[in-house]
Amino acid sequence: MSRYHVLVAIVLTICFTAHVGARQGYGPGEQDWGFVDVRKGAHMFYWLYYTTANVTHHTERPLAIWLQGGPGASSTGYGNFEELGILDLYGNYRNHTWVKDMNVLFIDNPVGSGFSYVDNVLTQLTSTNNEIAKDLVEFMKGFYGLHPEFESVPLHIFCESYGGKMAPEFALELYYAIQRKELRSNLKSVALGDPWTSPIDSVLSWAPLLLNMGIVDHDGYTKIMEAANKTEDLVNAEKWVQATTQWSNTQRVLLQESKGVDFYNIEKPTRGDAYTRLLLRNADSMELMYRTLVHFDIDEDRDQLLEDLMRGPVVKALNITSKVKWGAQSGSTFTRQMGDFMKPVIHIVDELLDKTPLQVGVFSGQLDLICATPGTVNWINKMKWSYKSSYEAAPRVGISVDRILEGYEKNAGNFTMFWINRAGHMVPADNPAGMSHILKNFTNFG
């Protein structure tokens, strides 16, 4: 066989191997999906979209992981159809989908979320952030086993909300696993979107933000702060379950005093005071706790559309077994994390910055309430890392996209903070132009 024919054979083998998992799923483009057993009896679901970019091979573009919040929200549902996937909730092509520039991997995480499931909910759900992180590392081992062509492809971890607790520890555990040669991965960065990284800093920012925006008066501010300060006292005493319960109580006070402001975008129209009173009267505290942090949406019809889509056409297209039932938000998963929910992970971000070469970013929508920007700025100020003084002295510069001011950024060392204008909790959906700047900063595409 000539050298030419040998080279052709090698190229064809590589191409065939790389595409062996590509299938036609729900919507346009090549996809793959399935379950990885992260522990005995714990089955984590993923949905991979191969990039639709005009490239010879999809491995020419990076792989972006998307982790939703909650804990217990579905990445394959919310992140995919509400924020950055190829199709929106109504089946229309999304112009700002990330898939046009890179490969996107949605993971239903922790187990018990979305299509992910466990054989025994009493013993196999996670209860700590570290358990979640280690499950995700095991997932990546399984994923790379199924898709070895991605081992050398730059990997970027993006997340939202409670993902801002999960993603830093996942990235750190994954980095150390790579160093121990437990797997091969070209991990490059982790970016935290509107993150719940330091829960109490978020809670303490609610009342000042609402007062400054004119959404509550001084009386409402005082009532919300009293509830928030009780939450802080429990956090300081490390009474974590009680702190989570008091967090829920603080939300109730906030909803009452604001007459039903939207937690995810303070400028979003809501049904107002009467509907809020009805919701609070009919919802027990646990329901409100796990519903509100991930997706307190007044548009119940939209929530039902997503559920109908995931349990109908998606299940059929992906041939999901009938014993697996997709859930928008897992109450069981949230409940098992109650003792960990209010714990901060600022120290994990510090370790990422000082002990790894990874690029670390935080982006925050100015109209978010649940993980409000002022709270995020406050916990960033608490970080203890080598370039802290350089960061504090660094200028904050404007982000302009197509000659429009979309926000601001500030960076030092391997850390960057992004303030995004005209965006709430879901930055990829609210301000795609601002998000494109962040994507280019981390992946060189977007």
CA distance 244 to 132: 19
Domain of residue 283 covers 214-300
Q: What is the pLDDT of residue 282?
A: 57
Same domain? For 103 and 35 the reply is yes
Q: What is the pLDDT of residue 271?
A: 80
Q: What is the pLDDT of residue 37?
A: 97
Residue 311 has pLDDT above 60, yes or no: yes
404 Cβ contact partners less than 8 Å away, ≥ 6 residues apart: 433
CA distance 271 to 277: 11
63 Cβ contact partners less than 8 Å away, ≥ 6 residues apart: 102, 103, 104, 105, 150, 153, 154, 155, 156
Same domain? For 45 and 179 the reply is yes
Tens digits of residue pLDDT in 118-143: 999 889 999 999 999 999 999 999 99
Same domain? For 30 and 163 the reply is yes
Cα dihedral sign for 221, 226, 229, 234? negative
Same domain? For 62 and 173 the reply is yes
Tens digits of residue pLDDT in 333-386: 888 999 999 999 999 999 999 999 999 999 999 999 999 999 999 999 999 999
Tens digits of residue pLDDT in 38-58: 999 999 999 999 999 999 999
Phi, psi of 38 (to 5 degrees): -90, -25
Task: Identify the domain boundary among 300, 319, 353.
Answer: 300
Same domain? For 60 and 103 the reply is yes
pTM of structure: 0.92
Domain-located, residue 60 = yes
Residue 422 has pLDDT above 60, yes or no: yes
More confident residue, 444 or 21: 444
Answer yes or no: are the C-beta atoms of 220 and 209 closer than 8 Å: no
Task: Identify the domain boundary among 300, 333, 361.
Answer: 300
Domain-located, residue 203 = no
Task: Identify the domain boundary among 271, 300, 329.
Answer: 300
Same domain? For 180 and 47 the reply is yes
- Residue of 368, 430, 436, 437 marked catalytic: 368
Domain-located, residue 5 = no
For the chain, the farthest-separated pair of C-alpha atoms sits apart, in whole angstroms, at 85
Domain-located, residue 254 = yes
Domain-located, residue 331 = no
- Residue of 161, 189, 205, 364 marked catalytic: 161
Q: What is the pLDDT of residue 327?
A: 78
Domain-located, residue 322 = no
Same domain? For 164 and 130 the reply is yes
Q: What is the pLDDT of residue 277?
A: 64
CATH of the domain at 77: 3.40.50.1820
Same domain? For 40 and 159 the reply is yes
Q: What is the pLDDT of residue 401?
A: 96
CA distance 397 to 430: 21
Same domain? For 47 and 188 the reply is yes
DSSP state of 58: G
Number of domains in the chain: 2
Same domain? For 192 and 244 the reply is no
- Residue of 43, 58, 295, 425 marked catalytic: 425
Query: Would you call 340 a catalytic residue per the annotation?
Result: no
Q: What is the pLDDT of residue 432?
A: 98
Same domain? For 45 and 132 the reply is yes
Domain-located, residue 15 = no
Query: Would you call 322 a catalytic residue per the annotation?
Result: no
Query: Would you call 301 a catalytic residue per the annotation?
Result: no
Same domain? For 222 and 182 the reply is no
